[in-house]
């Protein structure tokens, strides 16, 4: 009889440990998946915007947030007018949503002193609790507008 009780005690302890490991594995896998989506969101938005900003010959700004900070840029790329807008958590190209998951800290900053455009992109934090891994700092890129027409 004591052997049976000892076996049941061992099975109970091993079951509790295995359950905790399974719960930990499931929650950490989900957190890393969301973290990967944050990275993809930033990479996708950056790649799309970078291509058009680099190729633009003319640029203008709209939807001012603060002095020199904007939510919308209008670009003339290869004789085609394109409007990029960050509204809420979404990046729009000509009123069509192309990237979702950006935070309110995302914006365009125009410096008339040194004729430059700074693009600030930050994803929404999606991981909380036990596995709170997020991209905490914005991705910032600066472009010279010296050889571009600015309106």
At residue 132 the predicted structure's pLDDT band, cuts being 50, 70 and 90, is confident
65, two tokens: 């947030």
Does the pLDDT of residue 87 top 90, yes or no? Answer: yes
pTM for this one? 0.81
At residue 117 the predicted structure's pLDDT band, cuts being 50, 70 and 90, is very high
Does the pLDDT of residue 129 top 80, yes or no? Answer: no
Nearest in space to 100 (alpha carbons), one of 38, 33, 48: 38
> Which ranges constitute the DSSP H helices of the chain?
2-55
Write phi, then psi, for 84 (nearest 5 degrees). Answer: -105, 130
| Predicted local confidence at residue 1, as pLDDT | 81
At residue 123 the predicted structure's pLDDT band, cuts being 50, 70 and 90, is very high
Label residues 50-87 b or e (16+ Cβ within 10 Å = b): eebbeebeebbbeeeeeeeebbbbbbbbeeeeeebbbe
Chain mean pLDDT for the chain: 92
Does the pLDDT of residue 143 top 90, yes or no? Answer: yes
**Judging by DSSP bridges, how do beta strands 56-66 and 90-93 pair with one another?**
unpaired
Q: Sort 123 into a burial class: Cβ within 10 Å, 0-12 / 13-18 / 19+.
A: buried
5-61, pLDDT tens digit by residue? Answer: 999 999 999 999 999 999 888 888 888 898 999 999 999 999 999 999 999 999 999
């Amino acid at each position: 009889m004591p052997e049976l009780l000892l076996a049941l005690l061992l099975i109970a302890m091993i079951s509790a440990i295995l359950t905790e490991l399974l719960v930990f594995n499931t929650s950490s896998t989900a957190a890393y998946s969301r973290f990967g989506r944050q990275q993809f969101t930033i990479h996708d938005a950056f790649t799309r915007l970078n291509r058009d900003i680099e190729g633009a010959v003319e640029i203008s700004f709209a939807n001012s947030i603060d002095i020199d900070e904007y939510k919308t840029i209008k670009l003339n790329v290869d004789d085609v007018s394109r409007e990029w807008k960050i509204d809420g958590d979404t990046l729009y190209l000509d009123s069509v949503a192309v990237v979702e998951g950006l935070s309110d800290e995302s914006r365009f900053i125009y410096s008339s002193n040194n004729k430059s455009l700074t693009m600030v992109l930050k994803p929404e934090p999606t991981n909380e609790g036990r596995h709170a891994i997020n991209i905490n700092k914005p991705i910032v890129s600066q472009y010279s507008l010296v050889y571009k027409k600015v309106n």
